Homo-oligomer: A and B are copies of this chain.
Amino acid sequence: MNATDYNKLAGRIKLLSHPARLRILDALRREAECVCHLEAFLGKPQPYVSQQLRLLHKAGVIQAEKDGLNVFYRLVDNEMIVWLDHILGPIEGEHPEMIIHKQVVFCPCPKCETGDY
């Protein structure tokens, strides 16, 4: 590993080093989520959430899929998925924050409409 490699690695690690982004990634490694859900359980304004998503998207870590008015983001970076497994522990069952969310939020995104939440 030369100096450039360390720079690149550190840059990727920086994506994880922010509470909001870490929470987003923790949610996304379970399944794709739309902005409205992330907004709901982060408790942050929508432009704020979209900006963190933009960061992750520009780095190629997540991918956007449009479905009508909603945009679903999916975690597509395998290395990052492995890192998250080791840092946050493996995924077990449903995301706790999503369970809370289930009781509180009911938006007209496809997931909510089909009764997934």
> A13 touching B96 by the CB < 8 A rule?
no
> B6 touching A19 by the CB < 8 A rule?
yes
Task: List residues of A (1-49) whose CB comes within 8 Å of B's CBs.
Answer: 1, 3, 6-7, 9-11, 13-14, 16-19, 21-23, 26
Q: Report the nearest B residue to A43, measured CB to CB.
A: B3
Across the interface, which residues of B come within 8 angstroms of A17, CB to CB?
10-11, 13-14, 16-17
Interface-forming stretch among A51-59, A70-78, A83-91, A101-109? A83-91
CB-contact partner of A86 in B10, B83, B96, under 8 A: B83
Whether, in the assembled complex, A82 has its beta carbon less than 8 Å from a beta carbon of chain B, the answer is: yes
Across the interface, which residues of B come within 8 angstroms of A26, CB to CB?
1, 6
